[in-house]
Amino acid sequence: MASGDHAFDVRAVDKAGNTGPVSKLTFKVITISPPTAASGPNPVDGAKDVRPGQNLNLSWRASNDPDGGSVKYRVSLGVGDQVSLNLVEGCKDVSASTCLVPASQLSTGKIHYWRVTAIDDEGEETDGRVWSFVPCHDWDRSEDVSCDGAVDLLDLVAIGLHWGKTDLPWWVRADVNQDGLVDSFDLALVEQRRKP
**Poorest-confidence range of 17-26, 120-129, 163-172, 180-189?**
163-172
49 and 147 Cβ atoms separated by less than 8 Å: yes
CATH topology of domain 39-135: Immunoglobulin-like (2.60.40)
Q: Is the pLDDT of residue 138 over 70?
A: no
| Range(s) within the chain of domains with CATH label 2.60.40.10 | 39-135
Write the CATH number of the domain with boundaries 153-193.
1.10.1330
Arithmetic mean of pLDDT, 89-104: 88
Compute the distance between CA of residue 174 and CA of residue 176 in angstroms, rounded to an integer. Answer: 5
Q: Is the pLDDT of residue 130 over 60?
A: yes
Q: Is the pLDDT of residue 175 over 80?
A: no
Higher-confidence position of 141 and 52: 52
Compute the distance between CA of residue 8 and CA of residue 25 in angstroms, rounded to an integer. Answer: 5
| Single pTM value for the model | 0.64
| Range(s) within the chain of domains with CATH label 1.10.1330 | 153-193
